[in-house]
Amino acid sequence: MPKVVDPQARRAAVAEAVWRLILSRGLEGVSVRTVAKEAGLSTGALRHYFAGQSDVLTFAMQLVIDRVRARVQALEPQPDAGAAVLRAVEELLPLDAERRAEAEVWLAFTVRAQTDPALRALRDTSYELLQDLCHRLVEALRQDEPGTDPDLRVEGERLYALIDGLVVHCVIRPDRATPSLMRDVIARHLSELTRSGWR
């Protein structure tokens, strides 16, 4: 009789193992061999998930997307749009060890996709997901209904670029782009967006 395996439970176990390895050893420490050991599976069983290092990276990136999406969807209602937008932006910034690990995976994956076409589709999904979220956040800050205001499009891109710039700075120089500095920059940006009235 074949062994009964719950594919969802196994995928969750693999995902947790990958994430523990990223946190403890960085992305470089994640390979078919180390994940098999961490998850208590044979390397053969892992071939279902990873044929090679590109697949490991893709799995890690999908995990990051799932984590960010779940956190943003689970956000509690806030008393006003400004507070709600701030909470959502905080989920995208590397303000703690977990989110910093996510940022490291994102940056490594994004740059690897420049020379590995197999990674492009997921890279583009991630780009568009966050771009769309930033545009919706800017629309939420706007008092009246969203429209085709060209300024709104520019503001969405400005927020998106600002967030990704902070993420890159924190990944490469966490001693300079500290959580406190990132919070100050975002607070200033959001307060300005609210105050400016979209002139």
Binding site for a second copy (CB under 8 A): 28, 104, 107-108, 110-111, 113-115, 123-124, 127, 131, 151, 154-155, 157-158, 160-166, 168-169, 171-173, 176-177, 181, 184-185, 188-189, 192, 196
For a second copy, the closer CB: 50 or 160: 160
Q: Measuring CA to CA, which residue among 54, 51, 48, 57 is closest to residue 13? A: 48
For a second copy, the closer CB: 16 or 151: 151
Q: Where are the alpha helices (DSSP H) in 97-196?
A: 97-112, 120-141, 150-172, 179-196
What's the closest the beta carbon of residue 98 comes to a second copy, in angstroms?
A: 18
What's the closest the beta carbon of residue 14 comes to a second copy, in angstroms?
A: 24
For a second copy, the closer CB: 45 or 185: 185
Q: Measuring CA to CA, which residue among 195, 48, 27, 42 is closest to residue 111? A: 27
Q: Please work out, in degrees rounded to the nearest 5, the angle formed at the alpha carbon of residue 121 by the alpha carbons of 118 and 65.
A: 110
What's the closest the beta carbon of residue 20 comes to a second copy, in angstroms?
A: 20
d(CA 33, CA 30) in angstroms, rounded, equals: 8
